[in-house]
Structure 1
Amino acid sequence: MQRYIALLRGINVGGNNKISMKELKAGFEELGFRDVVTYLNSGNVIFSSEDDDPQALAEMIKAMIKRYFSFDIAIYIIRQT
């Protein structure tokens, strides 16, 4: 199990692309991620996954955000060490 940080660009900035952190957390959990924690209202999320490919994780998250919230945003994944 690997621990990651997802940085979602442009979420809840200046009243645009508003997503509740409760709904965002639920979306990550529906993708099968574990130990999901959101940071403030920033759109940054810490989570665990069996997947070892940060690019694949970013694509999964991007598709979920597009499907549930209709936003097309950049997502950066950082592996915690």
Structure 2
Amino acid sequence: MKYIALLRGINISGKNKISMSELKKELQDNKYQNVITYLNSGNVIFECNTDNKEIIMKDIYKIIKNKFNLEIPIFIISELELEDILSNNPEWWGTDNKEIYDNIIFMKMFKMLL
């Protein structure tokens, strides 16, 4: 199954530095396949055979703690969940109305955390 890991607060103003190439290698060495990192953003796309997001989150947390000595909050979302969020947008999503911000994805993700 394909997932996205969002790592919070890394590589910002020289704090919580994590090399994305090193992170990619660590994940690949620890059962994750087709790992793709996006710049230094802390966004990681990967595949794994585990279908339990809690287990994946704890595992990646442990990998980061052991390799980089950082305790980073991690949010895991599956490709299917992201597709569901994107396909159920309100009608105003993506309009040219500058008074409305396209933050619904983040609101829905936050709701999933509750």
Q: Tell me the TM-score normalized by structure 1.
A: 0.95
Which is greater in Rg?
2
Q: CA deviation at 1:40?
A: 1.1
CA RMSD of aligned residues (A): 0.6
Match of 2:76 in 1: 77
Runs of 4 or more, structure 1, over 6 Å off, are none
CA deviation string 1:31-73 (max 9, x = no partner): 1100000011111100000000001000000000000000001
- Aligned equivalents of 1:31, 1:75: Cα separation in 2: 17
Question: Aligned residues: percent identity?
Answer: 47
Q: Which has the higher contact order (CA 8 A, sep 6+)?
A: 1
- Aligned equivalents of 2:75, 2:26: Cα separation in 1: 17
Q: Tell me the TM-score normalized by structure 2.
A: 0.69
Work out the number of aligned pairs and report it.
80
Which runs of 5 or more structure 2 residues have no equivalent in the other structure? 81-114
Which runs of 5 or more structure 1 residues have no equivalent in the other structure? none
- The structure with the largest helix share of the pair is 2
Match of 2:65 in 1: 66
